[in-house]
Amino acid sequence: MTQLRAGAATDVGRVRQINEDRYLADERLFAVADGVGGHQAGEVASQTSVETLQRTFEDGEHTTEGLIAAAEAANQAVWQLAQGSREKRGMGTTLTALALVQEDGEEQLALINVGDSRAYMLQQGELIQLTEDHSLVEELVRDGKLTPAEAQIHPQRSIITRALGMEPAIEVDSWEIIPYTGDRILLCSDGLTNELSDERIASTLRQIANPQEAAHDLVRQARAAGGSDNITVVVVDVVDDDGRSKQASAALAGSEGGTGSTKVTTPPTVQTAQPTVEDTAMRVAAPPAPAPAPEPPSRPQLAPPAAAVPHRRFTWRVALFVFALLAVVGTAVYAMAWYARGAYYVGIDNEQVAIFRGRPGGMLWFDPTLVERKQQPTGAELLPAQRIELEAGHEVSSKAAADRYVNNLRQEVEARRASTTTTTLVPPTSTTVPPTTSTSRP
């Protein structure tokens, strides 16, 4: 029997007054919802969606279609609630959900998505984004009209093109995932992905084994990086796949033990409803037999005498080539120097938090240089995860960004000293967070 273990955390962030995010962390059903509408009660929409999703899925079939039907029921519930009140009209919510389901007698994970909350999978150390954002800028990126870098700073990046409760019917994206022991799935609102890069998210998920601690640390990092929106994270680990991994390994070993041509089939990791990822196969053939050696000629053959090679003079073409080559090499060296010295990072030097110019560990012959040591906080005052991150070097784009990051660390240390916290955590056994007062979403 497939067994899952999960952890979850949510935080209002550093800018907003109300948390419009909601999450669900049940035994076999997990979800993240990000309310849309602000004064039109976005937090009511997200609360309604997760409650309806949970109730409908538990009462219905535990299949992929059952999960889709539960999302459609959640859409109807939010839509009807909005139509019955002028104050709530126009509210909506994103919804990303994961459920353990039965398909053709086999346990699988079903994933659905509406909006720009995301799902990722960490498998064998590699982070893969499973969902596609239903947002204006992401559609422009998919159409080739924007680059991913341009989308990150686009002024309309918060505009979503699909959400629960905006129309009486909704299109739900869905996927089916074959779970293997060691897989880790992340559900999150855009308050996380707007602040942290995929590389930093992957690093945290690789370093922290406990899913609750990983969820808490991701929320902490996103808040420290700016916290411009509500932040919600659910981390789900596959801790037992009912022997599926061992069966796949045995099948692979058996196929390799055969003779002659060997066929290695890799089972699909993620199956989508549109399109399904097919099994891939790689065929390894035996090496071809060597070609027969040619028969020796009946009479020895003499090669014709080699023609004399004329002496080449140093011409203007050669000079131009040498100049161009030197220019290319010089440009490459300058580019490497600019890259190596064009950034800053925050690290630890003699148990003090310090700001360095350059790249952590250096690059080629360009070593980082110490810019400034900070009196507070000290290395001993940092949380273990913070210390690990700083020992590896936390990269930033400028000295000002480094100062802001260190100031955030100092404020967190001072807050811990005062035995206060600004983080709102809901235990993973809790299914929902009660709604609170409405506010506008930028």
Would you say the C-alpha torsion 134, 136, 138, 144 has a positive or negative sign?
A: positive
> 263 or 317: which carries more pLDDT confidence?
317
CA 211 to chain centre: 15
Question: How high is the pLDDT of residue 153?
Answer: 75
pTM of the model: 0.58
Highest mean pLDDT among 249-253, 271-275, 428-432: 249-253
* Mean pLDDT of all residues belonging to the chain: 80
Q: Over 90: is that where the pLDDT of 371 sits?
A: no
Question: How high is the pLDDT of residue 315?
Answer: 65
Question: How high is the pLDDT of residue 150?
Answer: 78
Q: Two tokens at 338?
A: 């600019």
Residue 88: phi and psi, rounded to 5, are: -100, -5
Let me know if domain 2-244 sits in CATH 3.60.40.10.
yes
Q: Over 50: is that where the pLDDT of 424 sits?
A: no
Question: How high is the pLDDT of residue 375?
Answer: 81
Percentage of the chain modeled with pLDDT above 70? 77
CA 5 to chain centre: 19
**Biggest distance spanned by C-alpha atoms of the chain:** 104
- Per-residue pLDDT band for 257 (boundaries 50, 70, 90) equals low
Contact criterion met (CB below 8 Å) for 216 and 60: no
- Per-residue pLDDT band for 252 (boundaries 50, 70, 90) equals low
Amino acid making up residue 65: E
Q: Over 90: is that where the pLDDT of 408 sits?
A: no
- Per-residue pLDDT band for 239 (boundaries 50, 70, 90) equals very high
Highest mean pLDDT among 19-23, 302-306, 357-361: 19-23
Residues 353 and 376: their CA atoms lie apart, in Å, by: 7
> 95 or 375: which carries more pLDDT confidence?
95
The H or E element containing residue 149 is: helix 148-153
Q: Two tokens at 266?
A: 């890799």
Q: Number of helices (H) and strands (E), helices first, in the chain? A: 11, 18
Q: Over 50: is that where the pLDDT of 262 sits?
A: no
Domain ranges of the chain: 2-244, 340-417
Contact criterion met (CB below 8 Å) for 188 and 233: yes
Contact criterion met (CB below 8 Å) for 360 and 392: yes
Question: How high is the pLDDT of residue 306?
Answer: 39
Contact criterion met (CB below 8 Å) for 96 and 115: yes
